[in-house]
Chains A and B, each alone.
Chain A
């Protein structure tokens, strides 16, 4: 059964550094999403992407964040200058009807 994959599983970075989190959605899906979950808190929507553009974004998704689908298979989330409070699990999801989630990337900002 096809699955959403994410790399890396764990990323440690210094505050102020740029990180790129990578996702490979399920191949025939048209909608892509990023969510995050800070430890002990709820899963929060960041951004959705359809037809090569952002379709919706949350207040969290400020100018420090960007998404890209560079090659028709990968879907990336870039954080330009990480802050301590960006430490969280980041989940990618894709959907046709139902949203399927990846295993997550744990981002630790020191």
Chain B
């Protein structure tokens, strides 16, 4: 079965603390993994994808095929990072549907 699991509905940290948002997946084949973010009253937008191996806004995510995980990390959280974060996967071809996790709400307190 194709599935994305984000075990935490809410993660609350203080500004400057490290953040790790967990994502595990189940997929037969080699999927492409993504993190999408939705800030308050804004649309879903792509934060990063595993094939680009970039760091965006200080966030990184490494695909661990052995553990089937794609956790999102940031060493020092900022208040403006507060948002809903969705892990998603799709097949490698263009045009593939996205399968989303439940989402984790990140709250960064001052």
Contacts of A55 in B (CB 8 A): 95
List, in ascending order, chain B residues with CB within 8 A of A18's CB. none
Size category of the binding interface on chain A: 20 to 34
Q: Specify which chain A residues have a CB less than 8 angstroms from the CB of B86 in the assembled complex.
A: 42-43
Residues A43 and B97 in contact, CB atoms below 8 Å apart: no
Contact flags A9-40 to B (C-beta < 8 A → 1, else 0): 00000000000000000000011010100000
A101 and B42 CA atoms in complex are apart in Å by 10
Count of chain A to chain B residue pairs whose CB atoms are closer than 8 Å in the complex: 48
Give the nearest-CB partner of B36 in chain A: A101
Chain B residues contacting A63 (CB-CB under 8 Å) are none
- Of the candidates A42, A50, A103, which one forms a contact with B95 in the assembled complex, judged by CB atoms under 8 Å apart? A50
- Asked if A75 is an interface residue, CB under 8 A from chain B, the answer is no
Interface residues of B, Cβ cutoff 8 Å to A: 42-46, 49, 86, 94-95, 97-103
Bound form: Cα–Cα A5–B33 in Å: 25
The smallest beta-carbon distance between A32 and chain B, in angstroms, is: 9
Q: Collect the chain A residues with CB atoms within 8 Å of residue B102's CB.
A: 41-42
Once A42-B103, A43-B86 are accepted as A-B contacts, the answer to whether A56 and B97 lie under 8 Å apart by CB is: yes
Residue of B nearest to A50 (CB): B95
Residues of B within 8 A of A48 (CB): 95, 97
Chain B: CB-nearest residue to A48: B97
Which chain B residues border A58 with CB–CB below 8 Å? 97
With the chains together, A106 CA to B95 CA distance in Å? Answer: 25
- CB proximity to B under 8 Å, residues A71-108: 91, 93, 95-104
* Given A42-B100, A42-B102, A43-B100, A104 and B43 contact (CB-CB distance below 8 Å): yes
Chain B residues, Cβ within 8 Å of A103: 42-43
